[in-house]
Each structure stands twice: as C-alpha cells, then as structure tokens.
Structure 1
Amino acid sequence: MGLRSWMGKQISDWLVQDSPASGSPLCDFDRLSYEIRPGDVILIEGRSRVSEVIKIITQSPWSHAALYVGRLHNIADPARREAILQHCDARPDEQLIIEAILGKGTIVSTLRQYREDHARICRPRGLTPKHAQQVSNYAIDSLGAGYDVRQLLDLARFLFPYGILPRRWRSSLFDHNAGMPTHTVCSTMLAQAFMSVYFPILPVIAHEEGGKTKIYQRNPRRFTPRDFDYSPYFDIIKYPYINLESGTIYEQLPWHDDGVVCNAPGDCFIPNGYIPAEINKQHTPASLADIAAKTRHSLRLMKHRIRALRQQTGESLP
C-alpha cells in the first residue's frame, strides 16, 4: 500500500468512525427487523463524522440509505447467492443489507449492525415480488464498486445555495456515461436499482400539449437518502420504541411528573417558575396517601424554588 492510499484509508476510517450511541432509543429495532421485507429501503441517522456532514448538506436527519435483500434463501438466483457469500461470511438466518460505505465501497452488511441507530423503513408501494427480486439483483451486481467521493463533494457543491464555481462546471453529477458505474454512493446505487424496474422515486413529470403527460427518470446521481423519505411512492414505516397503537396507552406511560425536563440522559433540570400540577390518570387512580405524599413533595419543591429565587434577588430568607 502506497503512502497516498494509506493516508486515504486513515482519513476514511476517521470519518466513518461512529460516536457512542445516545442511550435514548427512538426505534424498536426488534420489531423493525421482524417486519422488514426484501426490497425495502432502510434509512439510518448515522453517528459518524461524515454522517454529520451529509446531514448538513442535505438538511435532513437521514445520512445513509441501504437496501434490505433478506436472508440467503430470499435470493432466488443461486449465482447471486454465491456472490453474496464471496463478499461476506453470512449465516443462513442472517438478515442482510447492501450499502455503499465511504472507504469500503458497495458491500454486504448485516441489519443488526444498526441496532443502536435511529432507523425507519421506506417501502416501495405496490412493488411486486418479482420486481423486488430484480431490485435486489441489481444491488448484488453492484458489489465491489468503489465509493465515489468526488460525487459526494459535487453533490455538496450543487446543494449549497451559493458557490464559487458554477454548479455544472466539471461536475460529476451531469456525466452521461452509460453502463454499470465503477464508483457510486448509497443513494445513487439504490436509485439505479429501482430505476432498473421503472419504479418511480421522484420522477420528472412533463405536461405536454393535448393534455398528454410524460414521465422521465430523474438523474440518479442527484439522489440523497432524504429523497426516499420524501417520495410519495414509498410508504414510511416507523416502529417507535414506545408503542402507542393500543388507544390511550400514552396516559399510562411512566412519566417523571416532578417538573424535571432533560436535554439528554443525565442532563436534566427543573425549569424556573415551575408550578407542580396533579395529572389526572384515569387508568391508575391514586390513593389518598399517594396524593398526600405527592403534595408534600410538591410543597418542598416549591419552597426550594422560592428560596433559590430569593437568594438570586438578595431578599432575606425566612
């Protein structure tokens, strides 16, 4: 490995290194992994340095997109199953995704590696099982393609409102080379996979004379992860950590009702001017002793707050 390649790898590894998970989960990963099906796009709110850059560029929390291809037995073509095994040592029961990663290119990964990340499913509405298999096949055929860093930089220049250079000048976004690309980014690879079966993501719709309408495929090099979230042709499926589907279950959640609010786990405070209020929990009636205990606790909080305010204003304490 030459010096240039070694330095590039070191920079890539630094950019893709994940920061620690927040510890405050938003997604029920077990349910998501149970419900996901081949052909679904999974959006990830990444935690790496390059993810933060992509979020700023795209003005979206979604920094990464991957295609779920299922388990090995979900891939009908034996040759493509073999191609999967050549790129990863997957167990028969392992849930697999195909994604393009900076420093690694287009690879096969396991779904469980995103267990600690905020994720959601974008499901192509009405996509037939036959076409879902073809979309997966296109992604499998892309394995081994490099990651197109230049395209990422050109996309940043294109999305920013102002730039020193014209947006089209020497930009890879407007290349017209046909054939399977040797380098790609995550969203472009997915867009091309769905375009291979003429499934719309954000098509260009032209109204012509005589009331005719023509639909054109959009330039796949300009797609970002947020476009799958924005597309009206994909259903957004969320599996929140707290399931609210059973009526008024939110009334029974174990809220901390002493006035404490938090910026993040471990970073909590009581706001100035907080006035305790009893919450009427119809499904969990409190006893008189419980109400009396909460009232005494609330009075202590109020007294503490009044003393703090008087100290700030310089008034004498009682």
Structure 2
Amino acid sequence: MIISPMWRRRLIDYLMAEGQPDKSGVSNYDRMQRELQPSDVILVEGRSRIAEVIKTITKSTWSHAALYIGRLGDLKDAALRRQVAAHYEGDPEEPLLVEAVLGKGTVVTPLRAYRNDHLRICRPHGLNARDRDRVILHAIARLGFDYDVRQILDLGRFLLPYGVIPRRWRSTLFDHQAGEVARTVCSSMLAEAFSTVNYPILPVIRKDERGELKLFRRNLRLTMPRDFDLSPYFAVIKYPLLGEAEGYRVLPWDTEGWICNGARECYPPGTTVLTQSERWQPAEWAEGKMRIWWYDLLFYLPDWLSESRFKLKNIHFDEGDVRHAWRWLNRPLLALLGTQSVTRDEREEDSPG
C-alpha cells in the first residue's frame, strides 16, 4: 500500500520527535570538539521514538552513527569544499558531520546539533592520511541520497527473535546484486566508506583450506551503530566531564551519603526504599512495554486507514478484535508469563456463578 506524502511526513515527524535531554551528562562537549579528528565515527544515543526502537532491536545504547569530516576549511580539495558548501550554509569554522537521517537523507550537520546528546568517539586506529581522505570523499559523494526506510524495517524484522513473516523473505538485506543504490542508512553508509579502503569493522574471520585465518567482508547492510563500538579496530575516545580517572581522589563526591538511581531520583541517608519497586520483574516490565506498543498500533492504525485515501475495504475493528489481536501478537510473552488468561474480563467469565 502506498502512503501519501502528507501521511509519510506526519509519520516521520512522529518517529523523529525527541524527548528531553538528560541534564546529568558525564562528558565534556567542549573537550570532545578538541579531541575530534577527521574520519572519526560519532555514535549517538538518540532521544527520538525511532531511536528507542533501534536501541531496543539492536540491544545497544547507540541508535545513530555519523562521520566527522572536520571544518569546511579542513577539506583540501576545492571540489569537495564546494560540494559540502552546497549542502551547508552555516559558519565555515563549525565542525561538521556527514550522516544519513530519516526524513532528510544524507546531509551535512553541524556537530553542535548533538551538544545535548550522549556521544562516543570511535577512531579508526592506524588509518593513514590518504585512506582517511578517501573515506571522507566517499561519504561526501553520498550527500543528497535518500534514507532507506525499507532497509531499517528489514533489519528490524531480521533482528527480532520472532515474527509472522520469515525474516529473510523478500528482504533487501540479502540482495547482493551489483549496481549503484540511491538510498542508504547511517551505519551502512559509513561501512561502505571504510570498505573502499579495506578498513575492517567487524569482519568475518574463518580458516581456509590450509588452516590459515582469512578475513571476509561482512554484509554491509547488516552493519549497526554498535558495531563501531564493538570493533577491535576502532579506538574509543572518552572525554569525561570532570577530568581523567587518575585524579579520582579529588573528584567532587557527595559526602552526605545520598544514593541516586538516576539524575531525577536521589535519596538521603537512611532511606529504606531506594527503588520504585522492591523487586524488578522483567516479564511484567516487558509486558507493559509491549502492551503500549501494540495498543498504539492497533488503536491508531484503523483511524489512519479510515482517513487515508487508500482505504482497505470490508475491514472493521472493534474492542474484541483488538484484544484478540493483542493476545495473538504477544503469545510468546504470555507463554513466558505462564498464563493465557491475563485480562480481567476473561477471569470473570471463568469464575463460577
């Protein structure tokens, strides 16, 4: 079913809406700017709805990756400077990133756009200057490419532990046909850039017939932001807010004995209950999360279909349909909880009298 441009824009705005930044950051942004070098990969812990989905399905802190290309004046090639300038109209002294963003495609973004986010620098260890320039050249050549939404959906379907549709069926992730593509996603675009100089991220390592180790290229479309963090070939550069760990004895620790579960949840000495629940129950937590996600889908999808000019005929949703659909979609979770009767209505129906 084709989605009209208006509804596509609304959906993208909904997915990209960001939550409030965490004010208790432990990293020094100004120091990070001084630490950065061209070809560094910047990992971002996003705050949008789509970022939460990516972090959930990839089981990682990081939802996004971008390539640092330096300032406009750092680009030695005049043609490259003109190409970047065509996509950026800000301060020429501003540190710049090349990234693929949902709803925008591959764009140039000033580093300060992520000032309030949790970031990590991943530096390709030993990458020489010539290959560094080639990596940056490849990323800049992708400016203007659309964002590949289909690839993100297929990746999510591939990573989920279960699903109605087979994970590889009609998936774009395993289409190895040659040819130039006009769409990309953040991590795949960076993986392509480093592959042009044969720089490894997380290669497949196997033994050949003679028992010698050999590196094989991993499917670039399966690359995720977390892979740069996990890669043994990328050094993680940290920039703590209060200085290096060598001075841990002089860090300004609280001396009154307060305990914090987070930036907004701190307790004075003598507090007996330090958590909102005495015992964390993962199954119940997952049940609540999944209920919210599925209810959002099942309640809002019928409204969207009825308002869309691409209507599906002879489809009607009522409360009972939603309940049955929710239970069917959550059958693995219900099995985990050890019960198939979870709704109050069903318990009342089963009770005598």
**TM tier, smaller:** 0.7 to 0.9
The structure-2 alpha-carbon separation of the partners of 1:47 and 1:273, relative to structure 1 and needing over 3 Å to count, comes to: closer
Higher-Rg member (1/2)? 1
Q: State how far apart, in whole Å, the 1-side matches of 2:233 and 2:267 are.
A: 43
| Paired residues of 2:71 and 2:96 also in contact (CA < 8 A) | yes
Task: Choose the corresponding residue for 1:253, options 245, 251, 258.
Answer: 251
Q: State how far apart, in whole Å, the 1-side matches of 2:74 and 2:216 are.
A: 31
Q: TM-score, normalised by structure 2?
A: 0.73
- Correspondence for 2:19: 19
Q: State how far apart, in whole Å, the 2-side matches of 1:10 and 1:63 are.
A: 21
The structure-2 alpha-carbon separation of the partners of 1:8 and 1:25, relative to structure 1 and needing over 3 Å to count, comes to: same
Per-residue deviation at 1:57? 0.7
Moved over 6 A (4+): none
- Correspondence for 2:260: 262
SS of structure 2 residue aligned to 1:57: helix
- Correspondence for 2:306: none
| Paired residues of 1:17 and 1:48 also in contact (CA < 8 A) | yes
Counterpart of 1:153, as a letter, is L
Counterpart of 1:79, as a letter, is A
- The alignment status of 1:138 with 2:125, answered yes or no, reads no
| Paired residues of 2:256 and 2:269 also in contact (CA < 8 A) | no
Per-residue deviation at 1:184? 0.9
- Correspondence for 1:29: 29
Deviates more, 1:99-108 or 1:75-84: 75-84
Counterpart of 2:86, as a letter, is Q
Per-residue deviation at 1:270? 2.8
Q: State how far apart, in whole Å, the 1-side matches of 2:50 and 2:22 are.
A: 18
- The alignment status of 1:93 with 2:97, answered yes or no, reads no
The structure-2 alpha-carbon separation of the partners of 1:84 and 1:166, relative to structure 1 and needing over 3 Å to count, comes to: same
Per-residue deviation at 1:206? 2.3
**CA shift digits 1:184-214 (9 cap, x unpaired):** 1100000000001110111122211223333
- Correspondence for 2:278: none
Q: State how far apart, in whole Å, the 2-side matches of 1:44 and 1:159 are.
A: 20
Q: TM-score, normalised by structure 1?
A: 0.81
Deviates more, 1:16-25 or 1:186-195: 16-25
Q: State how far apart, in whole Å, the 2-side matches of 1:164 and 1:228 are.
A: 31
The structure-2 alpha-carbon separation of the partners of 1:91 and 1:179, relative to structure 1 and needing over 3 Å to count, comes to: farther
> Where do residues 143-158 of structure 1 align in structure 2 (5 Å cutoff)?
143-158=143-158
SS of structure 1 residue aligned to 2:86: helix
Q: State how far apart, in whole Å, the 2-side matches of 1:128 and 1:46 are.
A: 31
Q: State how far apart, in whole Å, the 2-side matches of 1:213 and 1:131 are.
A: 24
- Correspondence for 2:347: none
- Correspondence for 1:69: 69
Q: State how far apart, in whole Å, the 1-side matches of 2:64 and 2:6 are.
A: 25
| Paired residues of 1:76 and 1:133 also in contact (CA < 8 A) | no
- Unpaired segments of 5 or more residues in structure 1? 275-318
SS of structure 1 residue aligned to 2:210: helix
Counterpart of 1:250, as a letter, is Y
Per-residue deviation at 1:181? 1.9
RMSD value, Cα = 1.7
Q: State how far apart, in whole Å, the 1-side matches of 2:232 and 2:179 are.
A: 28
Q: State how far apart, in whole Å, the 1-side matches of 2:189 and 2:61 are.
A: 20
Q: State how far apart, in whole Å, the 2-side matches of 1:261 and 1:156 are.
A: 37
User: Number of residue pairs matched?
Assistant: 271
**CA shift digits 1:26-69 (9 cap, x unpaired):** 21111111110001101011111111111001000001100000
- Correspondence for 2:307: none
Counterpart of 2:211, as a letter, is G
- Unpaired segments of 5 or more residues in structure 2? 273-353
The structure-2 alpha-carbon separation of the partners of 1:3 and 1:188, relative to structure 1 and needing over 3 Å to count, comes to: closer
- Correspondence for 1:205: 205
Identity of aligned residues (%): 50
Counterpart of 1:123, as a letter, is R
Q: State how far apart, in whole Å, the 1-side matches of 2:53 and 2:95 are.
A: 28
Counterpart of 1:42, as a letter, is I
- Correspondence for 2:282: none
The structure-2 alpha-carbon separation of the partners of 1:214 and 1:251, relative to structure 1 and needing over 3 Å to count, comes to: closer
SS of structure 2 residue aligned to 1:30: helix
SS of structure 2 residue aligned to 1:158: helix
> Where do residues 1-318 of structure 1 align in structure 2 (5 Å cutoff)?
4-245=4-245, 247=246, 249-270=247-268, 272=270
Q: State how far apart, in whole Å, the 2-side matches of 1:210 and 1:258 are.
A: 64
Per-residue deviation at 1:263? 2.9
Per-residue deviation at 1:163? 2.2
Counterpart of 1:256, as a letter, is D
- Correspondence for 2:350: none
| Paired residues of 1:43 and 1:65 also in contact (CA < 8 A) | yes
| Paired residues of 1:203 and 1:218 also in contact (CA < 8 A) | yes
| Paired residues of 2:27 and 2:241 also in contact (CA < 8 A) | yes
Q: State how far apart, in whole Å, the 2-side matches of 1:79 and 1:178 are.
A: 28
Q: State how far apart, in whole Å, the 2-side matches of 1:265 and 1:118 are.
A: 14
Counterpart of 2:261, as a letter, is N
Q: State how far apart, in whole Å, the 2-side matches of 1:266 and 1:113 are.
A: 24
